[in-house]
Amino acid sequence: MISVKGVSKQFGDYVALDDVSLEVPDGSLTALLGPSGSGKSTLLRIIGGLETADSGSVEIHGVDATNVPPQRREIGFVFQHYAAFKHMTVRDNVAFGLTIRRKPKAEVAERVDRLLRIVGLAGYAKRYPNQLSGGQRQRMALARALAVEPRVLLLDEPFGALDAKVRTELREWLRRLHEEVHVTTLLVTHDQEEAMSIADDIAVMDNAHIEQVGNPRELYDNPSSAFVMGFLGEVS
Ligand code: ADP
Ligand code: MG
């Protein structure tokens, strides 16, 4: 479980996070949903250790993560614009984290094959990233983030740069991947349809705070404020 308690963050005078608390259940796919500028990425970056909070704490699986550097938090990241190694094949990109950890070749091959299969890229192992579509590239990014068996997967608008049709397909891939791999996943998105269709739980953010947390049904049936009702009803 990821447990965020009383986290605040300012950039100069600007309050980006105001006393935010959130529990992400073990093995869940939780969405952090809110309009642009509400503080989603800042919260995700603090959870991932890419940014430090001014106050408050982050625990990951019962361990205080405050002073743990990102590379030791056992976290996989996927961002909107994924930087793949252009000179490496899809297979080598996915294997990279395992190769640098000097895992046995057979183990690497088995794990990479399995992940490529799950994300539908088994037939693309020998291609290069620039021979993939945008959607395929983000699927490769998901496989690569999961290769090292992180305990937590943090996704920041991973499908945000893609067109609507591809985004819808990728939801299905992410859902399937999550069912196979069961890693605690936090998905940042401003797309209410995306959150409503794939998340177990949704934390709705507005203006530096979390407005409401619930499963899609609860949010839909009992929005706690006019903001939540209005935002869930918007079409992005
Ligand atoms: P979201 O991901 O919901 O769009 P962010 O967490 O990226 O929101 O940003 C929240 C607010 O904090 C925004 O107004 C943004 O301009 C500001 N902000 C984020 N990062 C920085 C930074 N490094 N320096 C100054 N302001 C920042
Ligand atoms: Mg953001």
Instruction: State pLDDT tens for residues 55-92.
Output: 999 999 888 888 787 777 788 999 988 778 999 999 99
Per the rule left: phi > 0, alpha: psi between -120 and 50, beta: everything else, 89 is beta
> Which residue's C-alpha comes closest to atom 14 of ligand 1?
37
Tens digits of per-residue pLDDT, 204-220? 999 999 999 999 999 99
Tens digits of per-residue pLDDT, 123-151? 999 999 999 999 999 999 999 999 989 99
> Which residue's C-alpha comes closest to atom 6 of ligand 1?
39
Cβ-proximal residues to 153 (8 Å cutoff; 6+ apart), any chain: 75, 76, 78, 145, 146, 183, 184, 185, 186
**What is the structure's pLDDT at 236?**
56
42 lines ligand 1 (CB under 6 A): yes
What integer best gives the mean pLDDT of the chain?
Answer: 93
Q: For residue 26, how many C-alpha atoms fall within 13 Å in the half-sphere facing its CB?
A: 5
Choose the residue to mutate in 11, 45, 79 for probing ligand 1, maximizing ligand atoms within 8 Å of C-beta: 11
* pLDDT confidence band for 195 (50 / 70 / 90): very high
34 lines ligand 1 (CB under 6 A): yes
Q: What is the pTM of this model?
A: 0.94
Specify the ligand 1 atom closest to the Cα of 156.
2
Q: What residues form DSSP beta bridges with 17? A: 9
Instruction: Output the CA 97–ligand 2 centroid distance in Å.
Output: 25
- DSSP for 179-215, please give it: HHH--EEEEEES-HHHHHHH-SEEEEEETTEEEEEE-
ipTM of the predicted structure? 0.98
User: Cα separation of 231 and 236, whole Å?
Assistant: 10
